[in-house]
């Protein structure tokens, strides 16, 4: 890729402060950029790098006002991060698209002529495959699965029987969709009887599932991930969970069975949700929070058990003071138990 700053700015609707004719041929982080690179400034914590970066051009907000001289050309846009995402997607779309069927593979169902099926892939009976689907090597697609248009299944993905994958879903390597939910009934003798898991998993349109994430099939009915939700790597979603639209969840989140999560929630890494609870919309959960009870809307939760973020911050202040408080209490007890010492 080679493009001038002027051409790039026109592509993203930006305005240029600096050299319109400078050539961009690569992308990089602001602290690592070299000549010819485009980078971006979205997080204020990285502002100091803009004065030392070797990048040729930097995407910044339209109202950005440098406090010192900036040698790089500035491209002013409404949202640098979103603009960078659009540019990277544009570059990615220019890459050659895989098509055709590699051998050996096993196809018990028809696939469209524009599909790609990699070597050692398995596609079972009565599978519906949409347009422009890409099934990479060593993928397993069980019987009666539905794959929508533009679905991408990266190497080693496993989709069990009956599951439904919507349009434009991306499932990263090693993810398992539709494995049995963790259902066992205790017997009187202390052993456990397996409960058959006869439901399915439904991923609606534009869902992305990270590498080695597992989404269990429902005991009955469906485990559902709704439109636009993005799950990171190594996440566990248990049976009969419902995750709403446009949620984002970082790595190692765990959601226990039958929990219902609303829309537009942001969930940090290693957050754990108890089973059979309800979470509303527009909440933020800090990393390693434990959520044992239902949560409303528009809340910011930290800690385990999770509490309001402001209350959590106050608790941390008091925790730091605990050694001093313990010492003071010890001295007070000593004074109370030995009043004569104070009179001497």
| CA dihedral angle for residue 241, residue 237, residue 204, residue 160, rounded to 10 degrees | -110
**Cβ neighbour number for residue 192 with a 10 Å cutoff:** 11
Which value, in Å, is the radius of gyration of the alpha carbons in the chain? 27
CA 153 distance to own-chain centroid: 17
Helix runs in the chain, H state only: 5-12, 80-93, 309-337, 339-343
Give 236's contacts (C-beta < 8 A, 6+ positions apart). 213, 214, 253, 254, 255
**What is the token pair recorded at 117?**
């099926």
Helices and strands (DSSP H and E) totals, the chain: 4, 39
Measuring CA to CA, which residue among 211, 209, 215 is closest to residue 230? Answer: 209
Asked if 39 and 60 count as a contact pair (C-beta separation under 8 A), the reply is no
**Could you give the CA distance from residue 120 to residue 309 in angstroms, rounded to a whole number?**
49
Residue in the structure block whose two tokens are 């305005």: 15
Q: Catalytic pick from 90, 239, 264, 276?
A: 239
Q: Positive or negative CA dihedral for 136, 142, 143, 147? A: negative
Asked if 112 and 95 count as a contact pair (C-beta separation under 8 A), the reply is no
On the CB side of 268, CA atoms within 13 Å amount to 13
| Known catalytic residue at 90 | no
Any idea what the Cα angle at residue 91 is, between residues 89 and 97, rounded to 5°? Answer: 90
- Per the DSSP assignment, residues forming a β-bridge with 168 are none
CA 305 distance to own-chain centroid: 22
**Could you give the CA distance from residue 184 to residue 172 in angstroms, rounded to a whole number?**
29
Positions annotated as catalytic residues are: 239
């Amino acid at each position: 890729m080679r493009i001038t700053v002027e051409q790039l700015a026109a592509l993203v609707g930006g305005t240029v402060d600096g050299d319109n004719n400078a050539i961009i041929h690569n992308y990089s982080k602001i602290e690592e950029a070299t000549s010819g690179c485009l980078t971006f400034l979205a997080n204020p914590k990285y502002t100091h790098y803009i004065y030392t970066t070797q990048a040729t051009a930097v995407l910044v907000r339209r109202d950005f006002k440098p406090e010192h001289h900036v040698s790089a050309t500035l491209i002013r846009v409404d949202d640098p991060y979103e603009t960078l995402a659009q540019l990277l997607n544009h570059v990615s779309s220019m890459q050659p698209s895989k098509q055709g069927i590699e051998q050996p593979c096993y196809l018990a169902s028809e696939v469209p002529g524009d599909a790609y099926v990699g070597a050692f892939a398995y596609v079972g009976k009565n599978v519906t495959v949409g347009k422009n689907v890409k099934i990479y090597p060593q993928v397993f697609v069980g019987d009666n699965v539905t794959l929508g248009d533009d679905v991408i299944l990266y190497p080693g993905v496993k989709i069990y029987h009956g599951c439904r994958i919507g349009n434009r879903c991306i499932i990263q390597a090693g993810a398992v969709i539709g494995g049995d939910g963790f259902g066992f009934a205790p017997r009187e003798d202390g052993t456990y009887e397996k409960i058959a898991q006869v439901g399915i998993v439904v991923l609606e349109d534009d869902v992305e599932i990270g590498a080695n994430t597992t989404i269990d099939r429902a005991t009955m009915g469906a485990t559902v991930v709704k439109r636009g939700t993005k799950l990171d790597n190594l996440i566990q979603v248990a049976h009969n969970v419902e995750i709403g639209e446009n949620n984002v969840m970082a790595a190692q989140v765990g959601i226990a069975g039958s929990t219902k999560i609303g829309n537009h929630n942001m969930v940090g890494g290693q957050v754990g949700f108890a089973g059979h609870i309800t979470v509303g919309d527009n909440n933020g959960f800090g990393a390693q929070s434990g959520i044992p009870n239902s949560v409303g809307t528009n809340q910011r939760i930290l800690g385990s058990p999770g509490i309001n973020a402001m209350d959590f911050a106050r608790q941390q202040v008091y925790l730091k003071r605990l050694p001093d408080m313990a010492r003071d209490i010890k001295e007070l007890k000593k004074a109370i138990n030995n009043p004569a010492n104070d009179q001497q």
